[in-house]
Amino acid sequence: MIIAFSVTPMGTGESVGEGVAEAVRVIRASGLPNETNALFTTIEGEWDEVMAVIKQAIGAVMAVAPRCSIVLKGDIRPGVTDALTGKVASVERHLAAKTGSPASPTSRPRNS
């Protein structure tokens, strides 16, 4: 299964970076495949191990904040492994088939 989630410390002022960093530290230490971007951290594994890591990440945020907001989005597909990179590779193959070369995530024009 893959879970994309965010944990946001609340009640600590405008900056949430410290609390988020504590959550990401827990996730990275878990040894499970994971990726972090500006909005979510995605983690892959079996239900019990992923949910245990998410619970620990929430605990890390609660250790530095009086309140925590969480958002979870999941893809539960029994028997599938390496979906975290496999799904992206599939999209890149489809992009390459239409254009002849993979599109870089940063290749699209930016609004100024």
Tens digit of each residue's pLDDT (9 = 90 or more) over 53-108: 999 999 999 999 999 999 999 999 888 888 888 888 888 988 999 876 665 655 55
Strand, coil or helix: 22 = helix
Residue 50 confidence (pLDDT) above 60: yes
Q: Which residue has the tokens 């002022």?
A: 13
**Amino acid at the residue 50:** V
Average pLDDT in the 9-24 region?
92
Residue 39 confidence (pLDDT) above 90: yes
What pTM, to 2 d.p., does this model score? 0.79
- 41-44 and 67-75 beta bridge pairing: unpaired
Q: How many CA atoms lie within 13 A of 6 on its CB side?
A: 11
